[in-house]
Amino acid sequence: SAVISQKPSRDICQRGTSLTIQCQVDSQVTMMFWYRQQPGQSLTLIATANQGSEATYESGFVIDKFPISRPNLTFSTLTVSNMSPEDSSIYLCSVVHGGSNQPQHFGDGTRLSIL
Amino acid sequence: QKEVEQNSGPLSVPEGAIASLNCTYSDRGSQSFFWYRQYSGKSPELIMSIYSNGDKEDGRFTAQLNKASQYVSLLIRDSQPSDSATYLCAVTHNFNKFYFGSGTKLNVKP
């Protein structure tokens, strides 16, 4: 399976600032997703990163708060904007290779703490 | 009703026993089914995929799918303490629209 590099692995940020998380894959992938996972909770899908167009956001998530870019088939970024302590979480990038019904594979995640 | 349901656990089994993890899903059109293992502080790792009714075995792991009853299960034989983790069931029913269960926490006691 693909090697997925997610950066940074962790960060501690001040309230009101923004952080951009990068997801780099070593081969072209069909789909890229961004998830959030609170401690002890399950995965919550933020958005699907679409190559060359605007991301598709899930209910409760908006572009102004979580702008996403995907300039090509191997790279995506998620920005967490104007952060508050409620944004403290693990953010995960996942990818799908090939056609429909293939599994997702996850990056190692970014552990974000907001002071 | 959630798309994918799992018992949150924890499920406790003694070392060497068989651990049985279950998952039900609501959409009869679901086509692909996956089990992920997630250790505390780590990201989910794919351990099994199953696409057709019946059993699929991979080492100590067996995935079972019953589309008529809309459930999928994961059996772990000869459970080891290193199997202690949260196991996530995932289902997809159209192009890359995934639904994850909330996960079952498994504790294997030495």
Lowest mean per-residue pLDDT among A19-33, B31-45, B83-97: B83-97
Lowest mean per-residue pLDDT among A111-115, B5-9, B105-109: B5-9
Q: What is the mean pLDDT of chain A?
A: 94
Task: Say yes or no: B94 contacts chain A, CB-CB below 8 A.
Answer: yes
| Contact flag B98-A45 (C-beta cutoff 8 Å) | yes
What mean pLDDT is predicted for residues A45-50? 93
What mean pLDDT is predicted for residues A12-38? 95
Q: Residue B61 CB: number of other CB atoms within 10 A?
A: 17
| Contact flag A42-B94 (C-beta cutoff 8 Å) | no
The yes-or-no verdict on residue A99 having pLDDT over 80 is no
State pLDDT tens for residues B55-106.
999 999 999 999 999 999 999 999 999 999 999 999 997 765 789 999 999 9
Q: Residue A92 CB: number of other CB atoms within 10 A?
A: 27
- Among A33-37, A47-51, B89-93, the range of highest mean pLDDT: A33-37
Q: What percent of chain A has pLDDT over 70?
A: 99
Scanning every residue of chain B, which has its alpha carbon at the shortest distance from the alpha carbon of A109?
B43
d(CA A97, CA B106): 29
The answer to whether B95 touches A100, Cβ cutoff 8 Å, is yes
* Confidence at residue A110, expressed as pLDDT on a 0 to 100 scale: 98
What mean pLDDT is predicted for residues B40-53? 95
Tell which phi-psi region holds residue B29, choosing left (phi > 0), alpha (psi between -120 and 50) or beta: alpha
Determine the 3-state secondary structure of A103 from DSSP: coil
The yes-or-no verdict on residue B17 having pLDDT over 80 is yes
What mean pLDDT is predicted for residues B6-34? 94
* Confidence at residue B95, expressed as pLDDT on a 0 to 100 scale: 62
Task: Say yes or no: B70 contacts chain A, CB-CB below 8 A.
Answer: no
Beta partners for A76?
A: A23
Please choose, from the candidates A86, A94, A90, the residue with its C-alpha nearest in 3D space to the C-alpha of residue A60.
Answer: A86
Scanning every residue of chain A, which has its alpha carbon at the shortest distance from the alpha carbon of B46?
A105
Cα distances (Å, whole numbers) of residue B24 to A11, B46, B72, B74: 37, 18, 6, 12
What is the largest distance, in Å, between two alpha-carbon atoms of chain A? 42
d(CA B38, CA B42): 6
Q: What percent of chain A has pLDDT over 90?
A: 83
Lowest mean per-residue pLDDT among A106-110, B10-14, B48-52, B93-97: B93-97
Find which of B43, B50, B91, B99 to mutate to test the A interface (most A CBs within 10 Å of its CB): B43
Task: Say yes or no: B72 contacts chain A, CB-CB below 8 A.
Answer: no
